[in-house]
């Protein structure tokens, strides 16, 4: 899964300080935090037939 910045939705996310703090840093907008979005690379269409 690709990590995405929750602020600007950029995929240029790296571990902040080498991941020592369990946080991520966005290279695009400068966001730093533990919360990141994860984009599923595989599309799993869920279709419910009633
Ligand atoms: Zn960002």
User: pLDDT per residue over 19-50, tens digit each?
Assistant: 899 999 999 999 999 999 988 766 667 777 76
Domain ranges of the chain: 2-39
In the reported structure, the alpha carbon of residue 24 is separated from the centroid of ligand 1 by a whole-number distance in angstroms of 10
Euclidean distance between CA atoms 14 and 24, whole angstroms: 6
Structure tokens at 32: 């730093």
In the reported structure, the alpha carbon of residue 18 is separated from the centroid of ligand 1 by a whole-number distance in angstroms of 18
User: pLDDT per residue over 2-15, tens digit each?
Assistant: 899 999 999 999 99
Euclidean distance between CA atoms 41 and 36, whole angstroms: 15
pTM greater than 0.85 (yes/no): no
Structure tokens at 38: 């994860």
In the reported structure, the alpha carbon of residue 34 is separated from the centroid of ligand 1 by a whole-number distance in angstroms of 13
Secondary structure (3-state) at 34: coil
């Amino acid at each position: 899964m690709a990590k995405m910045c929750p602020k600007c939705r950029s995929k240029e996310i790296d571990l902040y300080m080498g991941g020592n703090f369990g946080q991520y840093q966005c290279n695009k907008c400068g966001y730093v935090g533990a919360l990141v979005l994860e984009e599923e690379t595989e599309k799993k269409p869920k279709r419910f037939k009633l």
